[in-house]
């Protein structure tokens, strides 16, 4: 029972005052620094394998943005405009993922880029970004549960929505408190379902487009010619076509949202210095291929001026793939798509739970959250973090009232910019790492994982994300399109983060971490001496695995 007593009552046996890696008044203390905290190594279970973290990230990024949201992108920018928009954001995701992989291979800590911001930039930034991530993740859980209820009502509208909310909350809590390895298997299964559906609908789209359905003509690139590859948005001419392309950016960013979460549970991942960089490298490639192929097929199947693309039912009825299948006389597709989108909503909720609880645990490790959030079960689950998440889940009952649901989704939109803020932080951490390497006279080749082009990629991602963040709500500034709620939802998160950052900095009198203080040499030595840090050998049938290998 000693292990149980220690895990459930950590205050009895742990000196929390020993967390000396960061002094709130100063930057990172090189002398006392701990790369991976003692509590992470002892209380958290390394139950996630490389295939788990890859598929968790894929499960979070393949969801309503792909199955339901591509239609609105086609309607806004046209088939070529939307394709270019997703390719551009895909290049940003590539830079962000490689930056995240390099930094995490050196500092594989719970909370990922939030904890790393404390090491490379400023404890105040870690505090502000961390609580922004926690808030965004926890508020996403009731959002996804509410979306799942809407999807269920596609088949059955007679049962009170509160029943489905209760069932989904209970199941989500059960998944959140079980052993992390079982959580990984659950998300692995749902991610596999989604990948198979994506492959299936891409093949179906090609068959329909090439005239493989009896009685249906060959479409080819007909809709690229009529009504055309671009759509004029707000303005006319070349400027209007550019604005259509730029308006897709926000949709594309939020479609890829979640890819950064694969490193959140680094301390619960087996051989994280090898597995997480490998996952970062592969996840962006797979997601970009899926999204680019999907939007290419949608642009070939559905006209950008089809009124059905503006359907906002939240069910399979608004999916461009369902529209194309219905036109081709394939009747089974709507229910199949709705069922997989339902699993997408639920697995996205699980991913938000993982990101939110592990970020909160990381904040508590550094004194940015109450210490009781460090309490874990004998199986390594931070159950007090999960308990806080459960209280947010009860907001899902607002979907029982349509009016309350409208207010709630407006509230959720306030966190939308948080995705870009997280990506900006990841790029900034990597830029600071490169500068510290140069300042300390250490070659980047000594890092556990490095690519020659990433210093340029992180600058590209930083600048591109800032521009998209500042222009995400540009439509409200155009004539006749002012909308107070859209303005607030697009931009409120920016001053919120700045106020929290500035307030913490003033109260705790924190300093920016100097490049000399960043403990890179110590981290490199820790990586070299890590017995788990060995190259991953793929043998047998796994050599032919293209999904998560």
Judged against a pLDDT cut of 80, whether residue 443 lies above it is answered with yes
Q: Is 26 inside any structural domain?
A: no
Query: Across residues 427-431, what is the average pLDDT?
Result: 97
Chain CA centroid to CA 517, Å: 30
Mean pLDDT is lowest, of 160-164, 244-248, 416-420, for 416-420
Judged against a pLDDT cut of 90, whether residue 424 lies above it is answered with yes
Mean pLDDT is lowest, of 32-36, 90-94, 120-124, 314-318, for 32-36
Q: Is 142 inside any structural domain?
A: yes
Structure tokens at 234: 């707000």
> What pLDDT is stored for residue 376 in this prediction?
85
Q: Establish whether the linkage from the previous residue to 58 is cis, with ω within 30° of 0.
A: no
> What pLDDT is stored for residue 549 in this prediction?
56
Q: Is 29 inside any structural domain?
A: no
**Dist CA 17 CA 6 (whole Å):** 17
Question: CA angle at residue 52 from 366 to 274, to 5 degrees?
Answer: 65
| Cα–Cα separations (whole angstroms), residue 420 to 163, 321, 491 | 35, 28, 12
Q: Is 22 inside any structural domain?
A: no
Q: What φ, ψ does residue 261 adopt, rounded to 5°?
A: -80, -10
**Please, which pLDDT band fits residue 242 given cuts at 50, 70 and 90?**
very high
Predicted TM-score of the model (pTM)? 0.86
Query: Across residues 264-283, what is the average pLDDT?
Result: 79
- Domain span at 238: 2-14+45-544
Query: Across residues 192-201, what is the average pLDDT?
Result: 83
**Dist CA 113 CA 97 (whole Å):** 11
More confident residue, 490 or 436: 436
> What pLDDT is stored for residue 333 in this prediction?
79
Q: Is 536 inside any structural domain?
A: yes
Q: Is 36 inside any structural domain?
A: no
> What pLDDT is stored for residue 175 in this prediction?
79
Q: Is 77:234 a contact under the CB 8 Å cutoff? A: no
**Dist CA 357 CA 351 (whole Å):** 10
Packing angle of the helix pair 418-439, 454-471 (nearest 10 deg): 150
pLDDT tens for 377-418 read 887 788 899 899 888 888 888 877 765 556 556 665 666 688
Q: Is 21 inside any structural domain?
A: no
Q: Is 303 inside any structural domain?
A: yes
**Please, which pLDDT band fits residue 214 given cuts at 50, 70 and 90?**
confident
Spatial CB neighbours of 325, under 8 Å, sequence gap ≥ 6: 204, 208, 333, 334
Q: Is 231:75 a contact under the CB 8 Å cutoff? A: yes
Q: CATH code at 233?
A: 1.20.1740.10
> What pLDDT is stored for residue 45 in this prediction?
61
> What pLDDT is stored for residue 547 in this prediction?
59
Strand partners, 265: 110
Q: What is the number of structural domains in the chain?
A: 1
> What pLDDT is stored for residue 152 in this prediction?
83
The average confidence (pLDDT) of the chain is 81
Judged against a pLDDT cut of 70, whether residue 209 lies above it is answered with yes
**Dist CA 471 CA 461 (whole Å):** 15
State what percent of residues in the chain have pLDDT above 90.
Answer: 30
Mean pLDDT is lowest, of 64-68, 283-287, 385-389, for 64-68
């Amino acid at each position: 029972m000693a292990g149980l007593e220690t895990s459930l009552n950590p205050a009895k046996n742990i000196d929390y005052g020993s967390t000396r890696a960061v002094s709130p008044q100063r930057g990172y203390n090189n002398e006392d620094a701990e790369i991976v905290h003692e509590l992470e190594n002892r209380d958290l279970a390394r139950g996630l394998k490389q295939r788990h973290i890859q598929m968790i990230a894929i499960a979070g990024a393949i969801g309503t943005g792909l199955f339901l949201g591509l239609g609105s992108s086609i309607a806004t920018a046209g088939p070529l405009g939307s394709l270019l928009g997703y390719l551009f954001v895909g290049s940003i995701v590539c830079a962000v993922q490689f930056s995240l992989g390099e930094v995490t291979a050196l500092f594989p800590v719970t909370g990922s880029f939030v904890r790393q911001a404390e090491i490379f930039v400023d404890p105040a930034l870690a505090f502000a970004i961390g609580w922004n991530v926690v808030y965004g993740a926890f508020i996403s859980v009731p959002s996804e549960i509410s979306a799942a209820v809407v999807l269920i009502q596609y088949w059955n509208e007679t049962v009170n929505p509160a029943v489905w909310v209760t069932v989904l909350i209970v199941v989500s809590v059960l998944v959140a408190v079980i052993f992390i390895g079982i959580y990984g298997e659950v998300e692995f299964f749902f991610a596999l379902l989604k990948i198979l559906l994506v492959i299936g609908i891409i093949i179906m789209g090609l068959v329909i487009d090439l005239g493989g359905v009896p009685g249906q003509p060959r479409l080819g690139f007909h809709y690229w010619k009529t009504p055309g590859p671009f759509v004029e948005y707000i303005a006319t001419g070349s400027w209007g076509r550019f604005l259509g392309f730029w308006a897709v950016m926000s949709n594309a960013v939020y479609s890829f949202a979640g890819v950064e979460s694969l490193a959140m549970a680094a301390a619960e991942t087996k051989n994280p210095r090898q597995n997480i960089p490998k996952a970062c490298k592969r996840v962006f490639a797979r997601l970009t291929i899926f999204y680019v192929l999907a939007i290419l097929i949608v642009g070939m199947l559905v006209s950008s001026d089809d009124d059905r693309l503006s359907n906002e039912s939240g069910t399979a009825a608004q999916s461009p793939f369902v529209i194309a299948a219905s036109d081709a006389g394939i009747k089974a597709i709507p229910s199949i798509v709705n069922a997989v989108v339902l699993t997408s909503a639920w697995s996205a909720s699980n991913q938000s739970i993982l990101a939110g609880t592990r970020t909160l645990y990381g904040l508590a490790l550094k004194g940015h959250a109450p210490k009781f959030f460090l309490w874990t079960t004998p199986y390594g689950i931070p159950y007090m973090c999960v308990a806080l998440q459960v209280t947010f889940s009860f907001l899902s009952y607002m979907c029982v009232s349509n009016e309350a649901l409208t207010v709630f989704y407006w509230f959720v939109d306030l966190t939308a910019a948080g995705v870009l803020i997280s990506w900006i932080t990841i790029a900034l951490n990597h830029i600071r790492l490169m500068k510290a390497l140069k300042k300390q006279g250490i070659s980047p080749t000594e890092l556990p994982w490095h690519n020659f082009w990433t210093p340029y990629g992180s600058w590209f991602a930083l600048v591109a994300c800032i521009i998209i963040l500042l222009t995400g709500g540009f439509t409200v500034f155009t004539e006749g399109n002012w909308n107070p709620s859209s303005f607030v939802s697009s931009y409120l998160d920016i001053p919120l983060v700045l106020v929290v950052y500035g307030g913490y900095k003033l109260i705790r009198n924190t300093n920016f971490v100097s490049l000399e203080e960043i403990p890179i040499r110590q981290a490199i030595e820790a990586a070299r001496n890590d017995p788990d840090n060995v190259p991953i050998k793929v043998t047998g049938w796994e050599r032919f695995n293209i999904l998560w290998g």
